[in-house]
Amino acid sequence: MIRSIRFVLTLWYLGILTVILCVFSSTLYSKVSANLNRHINETLAAQADAIEDNIFAFWKAEHEIYKTDTIRKEIQVGRFPALIDRWSAQTNELEDHFLRLIDHKGVILAASKHFSEFNLKLDESILRKTLKHRTSYQTIKQGKSHFQLITRPIIEDGQLLYIVQMTVSRRQAETSLEQLRDWLFWLVPATILLTSAIGWFLVTATLRPVGYMIKKVQSIGIQDLQERIEVPDTHDELEQLATTFNGLLSRLDKSFRRMRQFSAAAAHELRTPLSIMKGELEVTLRKERENAEYRRLLYGQLEVLTELANIVDQLLALAYAEEGEEAIQWKEIQLGPLIRSVIESWRKVAEAKELTIDLVERDTSLIRGEKRLLERLVANFLDNAIKHTPAKGKIRMEVVRRKGEVCIVVQDTGPGITPEELPKIFDKFFSHAKRDKSDSSGVGLGLGLCRWIAESHKGKIAVESAPGHGATFIISFPAISATEEMGRLRVC
């Protein structure tokens, strides 16, 4: 089952938003509830303080007129209820509030009619807490209604005079909380649905270019690898994705082209030697021949097989070079003796065309490299020069030092290279236009491999040529510095 990224992203967005809104709603509800409770408690505390102040003011007024006892004394002798009755009759405070006054033993000193209807007993734990001069708050239930109760000690000179209990209805607070709960109950789902729809739309709009890219890539076949995806000028990940897709298509196109070129070149390079072998064998088998003729045929076939092995070797080396599979074993090498050895191995081939090969060693500096690869490089340049130099021509090779580099210079007296062909001669599978069609050896492989070998040794290749004036190849390698040579000599 293929899951849409759009669906997954929207689902994640929906889940995260739901969690956030639920946490927000719970937090909001808790905060509002706590604030309402605090407001109720503060209101009750203010009312209890007002009751205390009113009672004290009433007693003080009587005391100044009638020289009555202190409130403490009034409580002790049992005259405090009468004081409260006179205060209530004059102020109506007792009837206007849910109010009860209690002494330190829990005995009710006075109570309003509304409070008496509660038939509420003083909790022992609350009384003990109050005796420690601490105010307590409770929520009590009367029928279907809830009330907030304050139990507040009245202190004078560090001594408990009496206890004030007052209640207030929680109906308004509970109504506010119910309304908030109802609002959240409908608002949160509506917000989730609305934002989910918006999120779905935004994700769809964002992924639309990706869908276009997918369809475009799906429509590109092996024969259409030159097509490219339109790159949006957005300077974001979509632009990077399109650029990456195009880079991948370019690499695929290049790889397929190389594969086709490699297959065509391999078939072309192998066809001529195989045709020669087949033709010679067919002619030989038409009639009985002398042993000497068979030996001559076998020697000829051996030469062709040697050439085939060389072609296969070049093809494999080129394939490995493309993949970077050649692990270079770095050693210090002097180019003069190496080139001389390669020239000797090609001497007979050159003499067959009456070619002259000269080597001039103007420098003996060392370079770092792998002998096998450097021999292949020199052999390929020598092979290229022999193929393109007409009979009785000359090939000159030099080893010189130029600006901290050791250079191999290869000159021939061949037909030269046209300006149009110069930029292409190092392309793998490039064939020289003036190549001898009868030549059965590999063409178009050697110079491409030479470039890879030179670059692997941190070197470079330059070519100078003009039609009819031969060609000069200059292969440059970094020379080992004098300091490094001195260090090597000390170690030795």
Tell me if 5-177 shares its fold with 328-491: no
- CA dihedral sign of residues 282, 286, 288, 290: negative
How far lies 15's CA from each of 28, 30, 195, in Å?
20, 22, 11
Return the structure tokens found at 119: 């038939």
Q: What is the pLDDT of residues 252-296, one digit of tens each?
A: 887 787 777 667 766 766 776 788 788 888 888 888 888 888 888
Vertex 42: Cα angle to 41 and 46 (nearest 5): 115
Give the Cα separation of 340 and 323 in Å (integer).
31
Burial class (CB in 10 A: 0-12, 13-18, 19+), 378: buried
Give the Cα separation of 450 and 455 in Å (integer).
9
Q: What is the pLDDT of residues 297-343, one digit of tens each?
A: 888 888 778 778 877 776 666 665 555 545 567 889 999 999 999 99
Q: For position 245, what pLDDT does the model report?
A: 83
Find out if CATH 3.30.450.20 is the number for domain 5-177.
yes
Q: For position 435, what pLDDT does the model report?
A: 44
User: Which residues, 6+ apart, have CB-to-CB distance to 201 below 8 Å?
Assistant: none
Give the Cα separation of 372 and 379 in Å (integer).
10
Q: What is the pLDDT of residues 363-402, one digit of tens each?
A: 888 999 888 889 889 988 998 899 889 999 999 999 999 8
Q: What is the pLDDT of residues 414-446, one digit of tens each?
A: 998 888 888 878 775 565 544 444 443 444 566
Higher per-residue confidence, 147 vs 91? 147
Task: With a cut of 80, say whether residue 448 has pLDDT above it.
Answer: no
Give the Cα separation of 318 and 429 in Å (integer).
10
Task: With a cut of 60, say whether residue 483 has pLDDT above it.
Answer: no
Task: With a cut of 90, say whether residue 32 has pLDDT above it.
Answer: yes
Give the Cα separation of 219 and 227 in Å (integer).
10
Helix axes 237-284, 171-219, angle to 10 degrees: 30
Range with top average pLDDT, 77-81, 124-128, 355-359, 374-378: 355-359
Give the Cα separation of 409 and 415 in Å (integer).
18
CATH topology for 328-491?
Heat Shock Protein 90 (3.30.565)
Domains of the chain by residue range: 5-177, 221-325, 328-491
pTM of the model: 0.51
In the chain, the amino acid numbered 102 is I
